[in-house]
Amino acid sequence: MNSNHLLLEEPIRMASILEPSKPSFFPAMTKIVGTLGPKSRSVEIISDCLKAGMSVARFDFSWGDIEFHQETLENLKTAVKSTRKLCAIMLDTGGPELQVVNKTEHPISLEADTKVILTPDQDKPATSNLLPINYHGLSKAVKKGDTIFIGQYLFTGNETTSVWLEVDEVCSEDVVCLIKNSATLSGTLYTLHVSQIRIDMPTLTDKDKEVISIWGVQNNIDILSLSYTRHAEDIRHARSFLSKLGELNQTQIFAKIENIEGLTHFDEILQEADGIIFSRGNLGIDLPPEKVFLFQKAAVYKCNMMGKPAVVTRVVDSMTDNLRPTRAEATDVANAVLDGSDAILLGAETLRGLYPVETVSTVGKICAEAEKVFNQDLYFKKTVKNVGEPMSHLESIASSAVRAAIKVKASAIICFTSSGRAARLIAKYRPTMPVISVVIPRLKTNQLRWTFSGAFEARQSLIVRGLFPMLADPRHPAESKSGSNESVLKVALDHGKASGVIKPHDRVVVCQKLGDASVVKILELED
């Protein structure tokens, strides 16, 4: 993969660094995915996270039962109603994740330079010398000298709650390991990761299918995060499964890349997936640390050029226990934005972290500052060049709308869309102003009943950088034909004004279809 550089706008005025950040209805153009869990499942905390900038709620099914997550989701629905902030639902599968099972729940201390046995016999209690695991094939997959990492929410390399093991010998189904660092494992479940070894388990497990069929169908999930995606076939298999589950045929599938195998097949996976999640926690173990940034930059660039959302994880780990991120973490968030990421995914930081609301708020502020110096001009030229000529009709309209908006210094782009594709194409060119995506519902039937589409399309754009959706009233015309007519355009403009994005005398670029023609026009607003 070629790494493509995005340079800062020059010169950055040093004085601007001292200017206070301006409050805004949209905390940042870059979206924030928050994982809801024990520390972030009350209506009050979820409401505060939504106000702070969270636009996608992630439900991680590698732990917790259906009842627990359903209760959390009901609280999310209440919070969405009270805050009037849209939020998409992401179901994150457990996938072929290896886990150590500690039924006693007592902390386990492991001493460096001693040995521990990993056994598939889950009836045995977990001790300092024996750790039961949920996989019978480990002894066949590893050999002497291989590296294994174990930790709650995985090894980060700088903590005493994770352990690094080296395989010493294989005895039947048991694996004897040498402990490389002293650590204390606490909790009921720890993740186990074998570096650069293929685990022969299906990507979409039977447990995942059960969760999707029950919880996913019941709640019309917007996005499926497919853990441990290793091949394009994994995406095709998941899509085939979803297509048989009623409304879930509209659910988008994001491939979670977390090992060498997924990295090797990245290009074909990107073709099939609706978006990519870079799981840097696992990738940072499978890849040498000095290579992780290279993959991130090259892969995010490929996502950008294809107009598919790129989501980056593991950015502010230290905020799990602290009120402020480290300087390196703050810089890491900014660099993810400058690389072109659509969204930042918060895992343990909001799931079990002490400061979920402050974490969302802090990350949003860092994103907003980075967006101010994002080199949009260079990015635009590269994207146009990558598309090549002749451009498709839609691509030409989208790029023209962004170019016009930047030339006239428009405060917003309003795009009318039914599938959401036109709005996503505009967002692909990374305009410096928000894109208000007005989703026009379509009437459809399954021969038994009539329903309006549009809710899925609106919520799914909540993970795309710069896109801010609103669902139009199907009874309103696109534009006013008389003074008394409440048009969708007027409603969109009023929404922009209420949110502080559009002000009197501003210019706004409108992109819509009139009959068979697509039109880009510039509105100059009055008082």
Tell me the DSSP string of 479-490: S-SSTT---HHH
User: Among all chains, which residue has been given the structure tokens 């959302």?
Assistant: 309
Crossing angle for the helix pair 327-339 and 356-372, nearest 10 degrees? 50
Q: Helix and strand tally (H, E) in the chain? A: 19, 24
Residues constituting the chain: 527
- The CA distance from 180 to 126, in Å, is 19
The per-residue pLDDT for 339 is 94
- The CA distance from 181 to 112, in Å, is 5
Average pLDDT per run of 10 along the chain, which is 527 residues long?
A: 45 54 70 95 96 96 91 95 93 90 85 93 90 90 90 60 89 92 80 83 93 95 96 97 92 95 96 95 84 93 96 92 94 95 94 94 95 91 91 90 94 90 93 91 71 81 93 68 63 86 91 80 85
User: Among all chains, which residue has been given the structure tokens 């602290």?
Assistant: 322
Output DSSP code: residue 300: H
Residue-range domains of the chain with CATH: 19-93+203-370 (3.20.20.60), 96-192 (2.40.33.10), 374-523 (3.40.1380.20)
The per-residue pLDDT for 13 is 52
| Helical segments of 265-306, H only | 266-272, 280-286, 289-306
Comparing CA positions, the residue from 375, 377, 278, 287 lying closest to residue 332 is 278
pTM listed for this prediction: 0.90
- The CA distance from 354 to 365, in Å, is 19
- The CA distance from 48 to 294, in Å, is 35
The per-residue pLDDT for 14 is 52
The per-residue pLDDT for 477 is 63
Phi first, then psi: what are they for 413, rounded to 5°? -115, 130
The per-residue pLDDT for 263 is 94
Q: CB atoms < 10 A from the CB of 24, how many?
A: 14
User: Among all chains, which residue has been given the structure tokens 């186990």?
Assistant: 192
